[in-house]
Every structure is written in C-alpha cells, then in structure tokens.
Amino acid sequence: KPMSSVDCEVVALSPRYAEVEYYDIAAMEHGALVSQCNKRRFIVACSQKWELELGDMIEVGYEGFYQASGDPKHARILRKRVDLL
C-alpha cells in the first residue's frame, strides 16, 4: 500500500507512546492561512530509540485514515524533523 506522511509536534509522552498534533490541511478553507487551520491529535507508538521530547517535530507515516475517527491508519514514526522548528 502507498504510504503518506505528515509532520507532527510531540505534545505528550509516555514510555511507549507519543501524542502528536498536526494541522488538518485537508479540512482547510480555500484562502485560509495555515495558522487558522484546526489541529488534530492522535497517538503513535514509539520506542526509546527515538529519544523524543515534548515539542519535537517528527514525520509520521500512515496508510489512509480510519473512517470513524479520522485518525491515521497504521501510524509509525519515520524520522525526527530537526530541520523544522
């Protein structure tokens, strides 16, 4: 299956999971600024190898969205985005 990705900010952490937040660009009205866009949150599994901290930016890969919740399917961390602040 083709994989898409989204850049997310880590907003909460536990030893095995991270709660992340991203701008819901797909639901944005035409002509609106990104800062006016709603944010969405979801949980992604993570291991200690990522060494995540609150506020880190990460790229999360996924395979579509769950119809009921709108959360990304099979979400997984692809990399830390040290190039994004």
Q: What is the pLDDT of residue 14?
A: 93
Coil, strand or helix: which one is 10? Answer: strand
Q: What is the pLDDT of residue 47?
A: 86
Ranges of the chain whose pLDDT falls below 70:
1, 85
pTM: 0.84
HSE at residue 73, side-chain half, CA atoms within 13 A, is 9
- Residue 64 tokens read as 């579509």
As a whole number of Å, the CA-based R_g of the chain is: 13
Four-point Cα dihedral 83, 34, 67, 15, nearest 10: 40
Q: What is the pLDDT of residue 55?
A: 95
Q: What is the pLDDT of residue 1?
A: 67
